[in-house]
């Protein structure tokens, strides 16, 4: 069928054949299907959706629009984790060395922060010298030799997604579950993995604000993975408040290292352990969650998880001394406290507002070409459920530019909600799907 006929068929709610989908996406990647026809198709998919067969064909066509890495020269089941993004989400920084220290090879291609969410690559780049732009050959070598490598997206992996994502961004078709799921899965499956753990965030700081939508997204991604012969499990985790205490690149690296030393906040520790335990089970290193957690406790207690992070940093040309001595990481020139306006309990923290405040301070990007400041950010001294006295610090702001301080303090105060009663605790892992 010609592109016009395919667009019309989808517009009218008809089912598209796999070959037609493959030809349409291939034509778009090569430039023979123009942006205006793909825009119309995206809008038709937005309203009509894709059934399981169409979705598999769509994701497959995106995956095979570029190189699919073969890591078969690395022994073992290669497992990655993907998060749909949140605020204070530094899970990858501790999960990757933890899983690798337990023997699971972790090939991880990560993203940068945009808008209110942070990105793993930006956090890693706050470690002096750390390189995320490695060649595919080097990535392959490090996965084999160090058992872990974290790099940025390359131009050769899932090129259809790069073009499609940019087009979706300007045609109001980003928030469409089949398009999100095929976008994420095409990139992840191109990395050369055998299995994948999905961390689908739910709440005020997440893409998916509602549990039902997060569940649908997780199921859709699991079904794409299964169709491609990969083992995929998903945890739906809470993002109704930022994860841990640190928000900001170098501050989050510090918290991640503290996690590997067994000294991080309980919520961040628990989400990391739950996701890494999934990786150990999928990677065949543990028979069940309890066994996986015991191994994780062991590599934390004997220092091998931190040692693995140092190895990774050194292999990616960073300074491992900045991990063993955290005072060598970038530090902001000043700190200031935000004080609680009255006594009571913290009843909520709007994660998206905290993420936007971090962006305004310079920790995040407003545009893809914005320069970020690795040193600035926040330490959330009080989290949901904590009691506060009037005037007690709720956040410490780490800043360089004094002109930014007052507006950021106001944003943070507006992000916190207080009340007279302690709210009931929310579970951190809301659901597990496979």
How many CB atoms are located within 10 Å of the residue 41 CB?
A: 22
**Pairing state of beta strands 106-110 and 148-152?**
parallel
Does position 127 bind ligand URA by CB under 6 A?
Answer: no
SS3 (DSSP) at 337: strand
Q: How far apart are the C-alpha atoms of 362 and 338, rounded to whole Å?
A: 18
Alpha helices in 102-248 (DSSP H): 120-124, 136-145, 159-170, 177-189, 211-227
| Residue 161 bears catalytic tag | yes
Q: Verify whether residue 187 is a known catalytic residue.
A: yes
Active site residue 223: no
C-beta closer to ligand URA: residue 164 or 415: 164
d(CA 114, CA 84): 12
CB 164 to ligand URA: min, Å: 8
Distance CA 378, CA 249 (A): 10
Binding mask 136-165 for ligand URA (x = CB under 6 A): -----------------------------x
Question: Which residue out of 20, 80, 161, 194 is catalytically annotated?
Answer: 161
Pick the catalytic residue from 48, 81, 116, 168.
168
| Spatial separation of the C-alpha atoms in residues 278 and 396, rounded to whole Å | 34
Q: Is 82 a catalytic residue?
A: yes
Within positions 177 to 206, which residues make up the interface with ligand URA, using CB under 6 A? 179-180, 183-184
Q: How far is the CB of 230 from ligand URA (least distance, A)?
A: 17
Of residues 27 and 115, the one with the C-beta less far from ligand URA = 115
Q: Which is nearer to ligand URA, 57 or 184 (CB)?
A: 184
Give the interface size with ligand URA as a residue count (CB under 6 A).
6
Closer residue to ligand URA (CB): 164 or 408: 164
CB 137 within 8 A of CB 174: no
Q: Nearest distance from residue 129's CB to ligand URA, in Å?
A: 27
Taking the complex as a whole, how short is the minimal distance between the CB of residue 68 and ligand URA, in angstroms?
17
Q: Is the dihedral of CA 6, 7, 11, 16 positive or negative?
A: positive
C-beta of 184 vs 253, nearer to ligand URA:
184
Q: Are 259 and 220 in contact (CB under 8 A)?
A: no
Strand, coil or helix: what is 325? coil
- Is residue 201 annotated as part of the catalytic site, yes or no? no
* Concatenated DSSP letters of 372-396: P-TT-EEEES--TT-EE-TT-EEEE
Q: Find the part of the chain contacting ligand URA (CB under 6 A) among 2-10, 37-45, 175-183, 364-372.
A: 175-183
Residue 145 — φ and ψ, nearest 5°?
A: -90, -40
* Shortest spacing between CB 406 and ligand URA, in angstroms: 33
Shortest reach from residue 229's CB to ligand URA, in Å: 21
108 or 184: CB nearest ligand URA: 184
Q: Are 298 and 125 in contact (CB under 8 A)?
A: no
Cα–Cα dist 395/338, whole Å: 5
List the catalytic residues.
82, 161, 168, 183, 187
Q: Return residues touching ligand URA (CB under 6 A).
A: 165, 174, 179-180, 183-184
């Amino acid at each position: 069928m010609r592109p016009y006929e395919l667009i019309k068929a989808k517009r009218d709610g008809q089912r598209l054949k796999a070959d037609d989908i493959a030809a349409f996406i291939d034509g778009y990647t090569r430039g023979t299907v123009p942006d205006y026809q793909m825009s119309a198709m995206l809008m038709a998919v937005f309203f009509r959706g894709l059934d399981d067969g169409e979705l598999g064909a769509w994701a497959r066509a995106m995956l095979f629009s570029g190189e699919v890495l073969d890591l078969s020269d690395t022994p073992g089941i290669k497992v990655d984790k993907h998060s749909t993004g949140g605020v204070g989400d530094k899970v990858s920084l501790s999960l990757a060395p933890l899983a690798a220290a337990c023997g699971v090879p972790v090939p991880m291609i990560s993203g940068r922060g945009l808008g209110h969410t942070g990105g793993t690559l930006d956090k890693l780049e706050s470690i002096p010298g750390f390189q995320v732009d490695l060649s595919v050959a080097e990535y392959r070598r490090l996965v084999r030799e160090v058992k872990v490598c974290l790099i940025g997206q390359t131009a050769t992996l899932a090129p259809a997604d790069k073009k499609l994502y940019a087009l979706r961004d300007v045609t109001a078709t980003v928030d469409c579950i089949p398009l999100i799921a095929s976008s994420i899965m095409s990139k992840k499956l191109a990395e050369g993995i055998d299995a994948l753990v999905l961390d689908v965030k739910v709440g005020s700081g997440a893409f998916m604000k509602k549990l039902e939508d997060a569940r649908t997204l997780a199921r859709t991604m699991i079904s794409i993975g299964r169709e491609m012969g990969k083992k995929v499990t998903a945890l739906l985790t809470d993002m109704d408040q930022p994860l841990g205490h640190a928000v900001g690149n170098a501050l989050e690296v510090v918290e991640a290292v503290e996690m590997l030393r067994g000294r991080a906040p309980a919520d961040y520790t628990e989400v990391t352990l739950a996701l890494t335990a999934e990786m150990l089970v999928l990677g065949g290193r543990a028979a069940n969650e309890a066994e996986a957690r015991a191994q994780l406790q062991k590599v934390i207690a004997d220092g091998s998880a931190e040692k693995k992070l140092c190895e990774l940093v050194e292999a990616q040309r960073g300074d491992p001394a900045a991990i063993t001595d955290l005072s060598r990481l970038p530090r902001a020139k000043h700190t200031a406290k935000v004080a609680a306006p009255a006594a009571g309990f913290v009843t909520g923290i709007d994660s998206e507002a905290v993420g936007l405040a971090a962006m305004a301070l310079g920790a995040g990007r407003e545009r893809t070409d914005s320069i970020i400041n690795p040193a600035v950010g926040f330490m959330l001294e009080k989290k949901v459920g904590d009691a506060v006295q009037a005037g007690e610090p709720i956040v410490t702001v780490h800043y360089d530019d004094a002109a930014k301080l007052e507006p950021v303090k106001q944003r943070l105060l507006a992000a916190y909600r207080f009340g007279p009663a302690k709210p009931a605790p929310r579970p951190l892992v809301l659901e597990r799907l496979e």
